[in-house]
Structure 1
């Protein structure tokens, strides 16, 4: 009769979160570096440190006696795909903040604080730090505190080397200074302020045309673009906060539209009162080479271009006709390039291209 074996089974190694792809230790190291970058944006209104369950911000009620909070959330979209390809991660943080800053600036708001969400499959501390460095730089430039956020490790959800980035901004404006567009009238002048390229919209089509149709490489110099493909696509989404503040301080603005996804076609009508339309003159400005080449590559119809890309106009400011001369003087003193691209007229709430 055989004796029953008394040998014990081999011990297995205790499972850890790192075995599943989440490196808590690396995450903690990265958060410490991020904390230092965020602190550079702090002001006396910030009452908390990075790392708490929530960010604390004291509103200056002396400066804003009748405050209205204005918020917006957005992402960078498929521009991130170009960032992955080129290994450039600093500028997308700036893109995100500036996009959100512009979205609330058009309503007359001053940025107060910003929160980011950064998710990745496997945390690469150096990459994350570069992204937050861009967030911090743009926040500081806007006078906006980066008071918190979330860095999530999600193995299997994102491809190696890829991440997603989104953010939320909160600003403030006194109730009597809110800009909604309700004061826009027929005859008002449309001032177009130039974009710095695609900004953060239209990248799915742009990437298809440049990389699949034309088969350009990201480091390839293209004569029609007067630049390398990747460099042209990675130009930063500019902030209009400084010039917007000058125009609103002079009480010259009836309404403003940040030209993002949907182009002029879909963004300008968002601020038009019922019974008014915008007459936009297509020959008032020349779209930059990037837009012209994209249109040629895909034989894209003009209407499709105008509702997909900003076409070189990143912000539209609506000014009463009698104030146009003063607005032009302020823009000139600020060395802000601009052009009059049309006027407000009576009609169905839409953009008419003439």
Structure 2
């Protein structure tokens, strides 16, 4: 995130500080439609000068002598440059030794740690944070939404046994606010540090007319690596396996359209006192990142399957890693739901099935392990600071249970 390059879509390409650097003593080089320095071999070789639009150039009324700029169109190149300077130190915090140095790259370079693998497999994923972003914008709290963005991606990788390697983000807005954008990227860097992956690039798109007011949108992309023989795909799940739940911090990043509807229906204020904090603080609690505790667990225990409990809740995510002809029996009394879920259910008069199909209801990740490994799994995760509990087990289904299903009682 050292260098900016503007292209036809009003973009700022941000690459790792170890990848991009300007020539010593030279200003950062840009490509613009009206005025541009073209660099070759690190030296400027020519300059194209802009001219006021004449009547011959303009098929319109032909009377304007004004020379338009990108700023007139709503794109502030200087603000983009200032943002890059602000976020450099945040990207540096996430650096891994595999990030390669280089000059003028259009893409970030990352050397795969092949010495640690016999048959390495890359695992990739992309995600966003849904309408949780609307609450962040509405409340002016932007410092943790970036953690959510990283968490949604890296937690999807870890369920297959993959170690996240690097992350890229996309930030789009109509008008670039330096403070907001820096807060978001700072959160992204925090999430990368928590998960051990490098923030090696990203893009900031300032697009007038595409978003209203101070609105912005986020997307993230992550790549991880796993030994082929150690891929966790649910194929080892069998009747008798124990299901262990890892506690969530709250709704994480799913179900926020329903959450916002409940807030509207209840008339509650975001700053209302709630559960020892405020309602907005509980709702914006960042998504837990389970990567490092699980990587440590994989070294000690053969985990049969993991399910990241996101959209679809327990009812739809667990079957994704279960074999046909099995049923996951979940004991809802085996864990204490965070108070925010009870409030949502009460205020929205939401039935149990809808709750378990929409929200994680206090369980952000589920592991399936052999019964003989359950105690060791609980102990090892507790040593890593995770709150865990046995929430159920896998059993054989009945004669009519071809597709895997979940029963919560």
TM-score by length of structure 1 reads 0.93
Aligned to 1:173: 226
Of 78, 81, 86, the residue aligned with 2:131 is 78
Matched residue, 1:351: 406
8 Å contact kept, 1:106–1:256:
yes
> Are residues 318 and 50 of structure 1, via their aligned partners in 2, closer, same or farther at CA, if it must alter by over 3 Å?
farther
After superposition, residues 54-69 of structure 1 pair within 5 angstroms as 54-69=107-122
Quote the offset at 1:277 in angstroms.
1.9
Superposition pairs of residues 100-115 of structure 1, within 5 angstroms: 100-115=153-168
Deviation digits for residues 213-257 of structure 1, max 9, x if unmatched? 1111211113xx443111111101011112212221113311000
1:320 aligned partner: 370
1-structure distance, mates of 2:74, 2:102: 28
Distance 2:134 2:97 in 1: 37
Asked if 2 retains the 8 angstrom alpha-carbon contact of 1:34 and 1:129, the reply is yes
**Aligned residue among 281, 293, 312 for 1:262:** 312
Larger mean CA deviation between 16-25 and 109-118 belongs to: 16-25
DSSP-derived class of the 1:219 partner: coil
Deviation string for 1:65-123 (max 9, x for gaps)?
21000111000111111111221111001111122111101111101000100000101
* Contact 1:51 1:148 (8 Å CA) reproduced: no
Corresponding residue number in structure 1 for 2:343: 293
1:310 is paired with a residue whose SS is: coil
Structure 1 residue 10: Cα displacement: 6.8
1:180-329 matches, cutoff 5 A: 180-210=233-263, 212-222=264-274, 225-329=275-379
Higher relative contact order (CA 8 A, sep 6+): 1
Q: CA RMSD in A?
A: 1.6
Unaligned 5+ runs, structure 1: 1-8
Unaligned stretches of 5+ residues in structure 2: 1-61
Residue 27 (structure 2) aligns with:
none
After superposing the two structures, state which structure 1 stretch, 319-328 or 332-341, moved more.
Answer: 332-341
Alignment deviations for residues 319-352 of structure 1 (CA, whole Å, 9 cap, x no partner)? 1011112222223333422111110011230111
Contact 2:194 2:289 in 1 (8 A): no
Q: Structure 1 32/187 Cα, relative in aligned 2: closer, same or farther at 3 Å?
A: same
Post-superposition offset of 1:16: 1.1
Q: Write 1 or 2 for the structure with the bigger share of helix.
A: 1
Tell me whether 27-36 or 94-103 shows the greater mean CA deviation.
27-36
Deviations 1:23-61 (A, max 9, x none): 112112212322332122122211146973111100011
Mapping for residues 112-127 of structure 1, pairs under 5 Å: 112-127=165-180
